[in-house]
Structure 1
Amino acid sequence: MDLVIELYEVGVVANDVTLLAPVSVTTRAGRALIVRGRNGTGKSTLLRVLAGVRKPSSGSVHIAGEVVAERDRRFRRRVAAMIGLPPMAPDLTVLDHITLVATTWLDDPDEAAALARSVVAELGLDALMERFPHELSSGQTQLFGLALVLARPFEVLILDEPEQRLDPEHVESVVRVLRSRRDAGATLVIATHSAALAEGVADQTLSLDAAA
């Protein structure tokens, strides 16, 4: 199997401050890479580099053999990321948002609608479909954000602490959903402080504590 993610001595420095000490890691399709580390060791920075929203100061990063390029449509179609909550329109319902994302990426409206409803059901958002974003609790908002990133095709899924604001039961649900994407062949890169999430999906673990 070909390598999907290849990072070699990737580091980030800004204004003489090291945001990410040089790190190397590779992983393949259908595997979940868990990124662990204390706050300040560069977990989110590493994910931003992978998502193409931050350029490394040193080293090289390739996804599916190609240089990371956020403006390349092929890259955007290949890589989905949730690093912080995505923007939400106050006058669109939960289902409106999720269907809009699916429709943006899928040509068939019926397929898009089916994908949206499938993601809603997977994450247990059925009872919230007609609510507006401001009517959701913090935990519900977190699940809604995750639904938005899952409502599109991808080969690589990048998530920054998807367990935030979730109780243990919902973390368990998220583990099941992420396992299903991994088992279907997607490559997952997840920064997390949750032992339950890490143990539930990890195929390999990268600790940034040693590099910091």
Structure 2
Amino acid sequence: MIEVDEVGVIAGDATLLAPVSVTARRGEALIVRGRNGTGKSTLLRVLAGARQASSGSVRIGGAPVAARDRRFRRRVAAMVGLPPMSPDLTVSDHVLLVATTWLDDPHASTELAQGVLAELGLGALGTRFPHELSSGQTQLFGLALVMARPFEVLILDEPEQRLDPEHIGSVIDALRARRDGGATLVVATHSPVLADALADRTLRLDAAA
């Protein structure tokens, strides 16, 4: 599903990502580990189509990364930093909007939105606005937004940020369900708990740098 061949990123005189190669099959979780500054987020941005590689190539589902191609966007969902949030929409409004964008059936959209919120422990917070959430709740809200849609590949940058152990467990369960359902996951993390629970493959950028 994912083929990364000697992908590197350079900005001016700075190497943001030393050349790296890795693959991941459908239904596998690739965990990306490494110290801050070794290029984890940069690699994820390249995979998501948010940054151009300086060298090498990436193919997802056999096709080049093309962020403006609807087929690529339908295949790949990503959260590298919190997604945009409107102060005028509630938590439920946001998640339902995402689901409705991708699904034609209103009933299916509502079911998906409500299911994701419940799965991440946000069901009781649906009427709140983004500014009324704690930092941990905001992180879960961001995850709900990226998961409230169809995808074949899910790319997440440190999804454990700001979460206590209980909620990390909920995120692990949700991600494991997507992986076991056939999605390919790419997750950059500093959490050994999350990494050990999900990893089918591990890319260590410390070693690649």
Task: Quote the residue 2:46 is aligned against.
Answer: 49
Q: Note the 1:99-138 alignment, pairs <5 A.
A: 99-138=96-135
Deviations 1:168-195 (A, max 9, x none): 0100110000000000000000000001
1:40 maps onto 2:33 in alignment: no
Task: Quote the residue 2:63 is aligned against.
Answer: 66
| Seq. identity, % | 77
- Superposition misfits of 4+ residues, deviation over 2 angstroms: none
1:173 maps onto 2:170 in alignment: yes
CA–CA separation in structure 2 for the residues paired with 1:194 and 1:59: 29
What amino acid is the match of 2:54?
A: S
Shift of 1:67: 0.4
TM-score, normalised by the number of residues in structure 2: 0.99
TM-score, normalised by the number of residues in structure 1: 0.98
Q: Note the 1:1-212 alignment, pairs <5 A.
A: 4-212=1-209
Shift of 1:92: 0.6
For structure 1, which runs of at least 5 residues remain unmatched after alignment? none
How many pairs align? Answer: 209
CA–CA separation in structure 2 for the residues paired with 1:27 and 1:182: 12
Shift of 1:104: 0.3
CA–CA separation in structure 2 for the residues paired with 1:171 and 1:131: 22
What amino acid is the match of 2:165?
A: P
Deviations 1:34-71 (A, max 9, x none): 00000000000000000001010000100000000000
For structure 2, which runs of at least 5 residues remain unmatched after alignment? none
Q: Secondary structure at the match of 2:15?
A: strand
What amino acid is the match of 1:55?
A: Q
CA–CA separation in structure 2 for the residues paired with 1:44 and 1:86: 15
What amino acid is the match of 1:199?
A: D
Shift of 1:127: 1.3
